[in-house]
Amino acid sequence: MARPLIQLALDSLDKEQTLKLAKLAAPYVDIIELGTPCIKYNGLEIVKAVRSQHRDKLVFADLKTMDAGYYEAEPFFKAGADITTVLGTADFGTIKGVIDVANKYGKQAQVDLINVEDKAHVAKEAARLGAHIIGIHTGIDQQLAGKTPFADLQALLSLGLKVKVSVAGGINQSTVEQVAATKPSIIVIGGAITGAKSPAEAARQISVLVEAVAIRAGA
């Protein structure tokens, strides 16, 4: 089995701290995400900086677009982002706009199902519109209320849509094997790496755990 890609989520407002964390964890991750707080604070410049420092990684701009999809996402693709996000709670016209502009640049649009009531309906429609990735996402505030993404991930995967599936929401060294075993395309890890005493070691541990699950599944 091809292992899921590992996405490092960077949610700090501090540009230097963001670049430092990206550098420390880069050897162990496939995708570097500029999280929504980071993108709102630092804008296009942080995308350009990460793009130029990590030519071999996918750069993810977590715009969480809610309106004017094509118009909002285009400058981020031009700046070097490979993937941008649009909210599943947005109008399908907005979602289509982000998909269209992603296709124009040979990039990818991710539909984030955070706070979406009928996830199956939105996921099916997003897939029909040509979304490249659909994301199950338990947000930071939802995590504080004790929620996890695991049941929603199973439900989305069981739809069998022809689209990549990403999962985010408080995943750490204790839960990443259980998540990897369900075979999502992308596993997002934020706080478990960025909040660790040694972010590089935490990222290394996670990559070893994900690799081990893939090897066991292929055996």
Ligand X SMILES: O=C([C@H](O)CO)[C@H](O)[C@H](O)COP(=O)(O)O
What are 36's two structure tokens?
A: 């929504």
Site string for ligand X, 92-131 (x = CB under 6 A): ----------------------------------------
Residues of span 154-183 touching ligand X by CB under 6 A = 168-171
Q: Which of 189, 202, 206, 209 binds ligand X (CB under 6 A)?
A: 189
What are 154's two structure tokens?
A: 């199973």
Q: Which of 44, 140, 157, 214 binds ligand X (CB under 6 A)?
A: 140
Q: Which of 3, 12, 32, 62 binds ligand X (CB under 6 A)?
A: 62
Residue 74 sits in the site that holds ligand X (CB under 6 A)? no
- Least Cα distance to 208 among 18, 27, 21, 10 occurs for 27
Residues 6+ apart with CB under 8 A from 204: 27, 28
Cα–Cα distance, 107 to 78 (Å, whole number): 10
Q: How far is the CB of 188 from ligand X (least distance, A)?
A: 5
What are 169's two structure tokens?
A: 């929401």
Q: Which of 157, 191, 204, 214 binds ligand X (CB under 6 A)?
A: 191
Residues 6+ apart with CB under 8 A from 162: 127
Residues of span 3-32 touching ligand X by CB under 6 A = 9, 11
Cα–Cα distance, 48 to 171 (Å, whole number): 27
Point out which residues bind ligand X (CB under 6 A): 9, 11, 35-37, 62, 139-140, 168-171, 188-191
